[in-house]
């Protein structure tokens, strides 16, 4: 029999309990061997709940036990030493988003990892409607893509995070753009092949150093020509949580929520509904499961996974560019 892949987890927050562990515990061929957190009581509680060995997060990452695959679910600014250590060991790593603060840092974090062995938690790529849109754009089913409009907002995260997370003084690495907006930006850049991005406007509401509302406009240079993007993401306002894709011959409205549909629009009304149910995940739980399935398959086969960190550089660079344009560097 083939030995199971040994998985270690650094971080014992809500997203690990609510999303990653349910997916991992239902994945064949792996063993979740340990989890570590600087709050040992929290790690012990989570470990007991899932029957996983709990560790106190050591002062040096080199003191962690070996594993084949590591999940890094700790704040961005604390990750560099862990990535360096796991890279030296040859351990594959899946990181929660945001992956990095700048394009240069993103590339540096990826450097030395095979494309199959470093991933980022953009699990929305597996959602059924996202996979359908990627197929429609790739096939030019409605002609060239001309424009995209994004509206997303709310006061909670899909993994169950609440106000304590959204309101803490944490700075741009976990503001609304990096935390929530990076998902819709990734949806765009994993659908539209980009060769360049031109930021036209970026307006932010900054509160105690944290961006809480972003309204921006930019253009993507793609093989099909320029694609205009009108972009709004917020923890202050409620939006439709949808994306409008304006093609040469049609406009599609995509519901961003898991299980959402894609609508063919005419004169602001729905002409037809495209059901993407066969394409991928229809719930958040399914999305995390498919994310891990894709990443672990890549680790085993050497093929690039659907959530490869190498493929997400445009997300990091655009988040950084929007902050810079808004004067929030």
292 and 236 in one domain? no
pLDDT for res 161 = 46
317 and 192 in one domain? yes
CATH number of residue 29's parent domain: 3.40.50.720
pLDDT for res 278 = 73
238 vs 73, higher pLDDT: 73
Please tell me the pTM assigned to this model: 0.91
Q: At what angle do helices 313-325 and 182-189 cross, to 10 degrees?
A: 130
262 and 153 in one domain? yes
Instruction: Evaluate if residue 142 carries a pLDDT over 60.
Output: yes
Burial bucket for residue 92 (CB in 10 Å: 0-12, 13-18, 19+): buried
Mean per-residue pLDDT of the chain: 91
pLDDT for res 149 = 98
Q: Which residues partner with 251 through β-bridges? A: 246, 265
Which of these, 246, 247, 252, 244, lies nearest to 274 by C-alpha position? 252
213 and 137 in one domain? yes
Round to whole Å and give the CA distance between 150 and 159.
21
175 and 218 in one domain? yes
Model confidence band, residue 329 (pLDDT cutoffs 50, 70, 90): low
pLDDT for res 155 = 58
pLDDT for res 159 = 47
pLDDT for res 164 = 44
Residue 53 is part of which domain span? 5-122+286-307
26 and 96 in one domain? yes
299 and 158 in one domain? no
263 and 194 in one domain? yes
115 and 130 in one domain? no
Question: Where on the phi/psi map is residue 281: left (φ > 0), alpha (ψ -120 to 50), or beta?
Answer: beta
269 and 226 in one domain? yes
pLDDT for res 171 = 52
Instruction: Evaluate if residue 137 carries a pLDDT over 50.
Output: yes
CB atoms inside a 10 Å sphere around CB 13: 20
Round to whole Å and give the CA distance between 18 and 168.
21
Least confident piece of the model among 11-25, 217-231, 268-282: 268-282
149 and 264 in one domain? yes
CATH number of residue 211's parent domain: 3.30.360.10
Instruction: Evaluate if residue 328 carries a pLDDT over 60.
Output: yes
Question: Number of structural domains, the chain?
Answer: 2
Model confidence band, residue 39 (pLDDT cutoffs 50, 70, 90): very high
3-state DSSP percent of the chain in helix, strand and coil, to 5 = 35, 30, 35
Model confidence band, residue 156 (pLDDT cutoffs 50, 70, 90): low
The pLDDT tens digits of the residues spanning 312-323 come to: 999 999 999 999
Round to whole Å and give the CA distance between 223 and 235.
34
44 and 108 in one domain? yes
The pLDDT tens digits of the residues spanning 72-130 come to: 999 998 999 999 999 999 999 999 999 999 999 999 999 999 999 999 999 999 999 99
Model confidence band, residue 214 (pLDDT cutoffs 50, 70, 90): very high
Strands 53-56 and 30-37: parallel
């Amino acid at each position: 029999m083939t030995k199971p892949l040994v998985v270690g987890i650094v971080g014992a927050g809500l997203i690990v309990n609510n999303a990653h562990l349910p997916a991992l515990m239902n994945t064949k061929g792996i063993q979740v061997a340990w989890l570590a957190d600087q709050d040992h009581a929290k790690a012990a509680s989570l470990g007991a709940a899932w029957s996983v060995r709990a560790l106190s997060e050591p002062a040096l990452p080199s003191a962690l036990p070996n594993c084949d695959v590591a999940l890094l679910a700790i704040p961005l600014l604390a990750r560099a030493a862990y990535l360096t250590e796991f890279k030296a060991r040859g351990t594959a790593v899946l990181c929660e988003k945001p992956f990095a603060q700048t394009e240069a840092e993103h590339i540096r974090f990826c450097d030395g990892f095979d494309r199959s062995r470093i991933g980022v938690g953009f699990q929305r790529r597996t959602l059924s409607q996202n996979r359908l849109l990627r197929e429609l754009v790739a096939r030019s089913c409605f002609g060239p893509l001309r424009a995209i409009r994004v509206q997303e907002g709310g006061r909670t995260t899909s993994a169950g995070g609440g106000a304590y997370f959204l309101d803490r003084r944490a700075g741009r690495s976990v503001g609304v753009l990096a935390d929530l907006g990076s998902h819709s930006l990734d949806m765009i850049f994993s659908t539209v092949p980009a060769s360049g991005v031109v930021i036209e406007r970026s307006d932010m509401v900054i509160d105690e150093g944290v961006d809480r509302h972003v309204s921006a406009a930019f253009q993507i240079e793609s093989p099909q020509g320029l694609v205009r993007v009108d972009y709004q993401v917020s923890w202050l306002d409620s939006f439709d949580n949808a994306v409008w894709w304006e093609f040469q011959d049609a406009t599609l409205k995509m519901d961003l929520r898991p299980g959402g549909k894609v609508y063919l629009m005419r004169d602001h009304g729905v002409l037809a509904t495209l059901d993407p149910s066969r394409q991928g995940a229809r719930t958040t739980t399914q999305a995390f499961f498919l994310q891990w399935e894709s990443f672990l398959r890549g680790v085993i086969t050497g093929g690039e996974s659907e959530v490869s960190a190498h493929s997400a550089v445009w997300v990091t660079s655009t988040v950084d560019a929007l902050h810079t344009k808004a004067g929030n560097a």
